[in-house]
Amino acid sequence: MVSRCDCGAVTEVREDCLKSGNTRSCGCLQPDVAHSLATHGMWKTRTYRIWNGMKARCRNKDSKKAHLYAGKGIKVCDRWLSFENFLADMGEAPDGMSIERRNGNGNYEPGNCMWATLKDQANNTTRNRLVTHVGRTQTVAQWAAEIGVDPNTLLYRLRRGWTIEQALSPTQRNTLRKQKRSEERAQRRRACETCGAEFFPRKWQLDQGRGRFCSQKCNMAGRAAMSAPDAQRRARETRNARYADSPPNERGER
């Protein structure tokens, strides 16, 4: 049937809907009805998704991360079960930040929550290793950033049994490496059999029975000065030392 709306518009409506009161306008009341039904109008915002995820983590015991939230007894306080109260206490989520608990074993409640970056959240997990030095306690990642080394490098030092003072020294690794190289170099010190000059043959040369002459010139002079039997004996010793640990086929055996 044709009916005239209170706004003056004329439209066709079903008679039963008009009599039952289901249809009360031509459609002009829809904005007012939608506004009256809306609570906060933020259900599509990032802040609302964070709030909704916070509740889900603490309620869903079948989640893969339940042992970190619901399994540990972490709860959302009664006040924050309402999004309006959560929004009033925390405000809207800043870009690049999410909700973080100051005390990882505490509940989601005012006074224990803040907006934090992913880096801040990573430094506030129970899986982090804390290191105390000169009265300050920080995570390994925080100490590594402060002294300018990779976090894995600092963890490696601590696992190898370094003291905290050694591990937190930015140049300690290079110092120990140089000290080790100096000791190895001192063990390779030799005197040339021809001219007597001091030199440092390589480790593989010593392993193969070489490293008796400081240069090719001294090598040729030394071999020329040796008698034929001595030269043959030296050659045999060198060959045997070189192939001592080699398979038979590399030694020319069948």
The 10s digit of each residue's pLDDT in 154-167 is 888 888 888 888 88
pLDDT at 35: 47
pLDDT at 36: 43
Is the C-alpha dihedral spanning 78, 80, 83, 87 positive or negative?
A: positive
Cα atoms in the 13 Å half-sphere on the side-chain side of 102: 6
- Reported confidence tier of residue 241, pLDDT bands at 50, 70, 90: low
Mean pLDDT of 41-62: 87
Mean pLDDT of 103-115: 91
Expressed in angstroms, the distance from the first to the final Cα of the chain is: 111
Residue-wise pLDDT for 184-221, tens only, equals 888 888 888 888 888 888 888 888 877 888 888 888 88
Average pLDDT, the chain: 79
Nearest CA-CA partner of 167 in 184, 192, 188, 150: 150
- Reported confidence tier of residue 143, pLDDT bands at 50, 70, 90: confident
Residue 42, pLDDT above cutoff 50: yes
- Least confident residue range of 17-31, 117-131, 216-230: 17-31
pLDDT at 247: 57
pLDDT at 69: 87
Q: What is the spatial distance between Cα 59 and Cα 9, in angstroms, rounded to a whole number? A: 51
Query: Where in the chain are the domains?
Result: 37-127, 129-187, 190-251
Mean pLDDT of 46-73: 87
Between 235 and 29, the higher pLDDT residue: 235
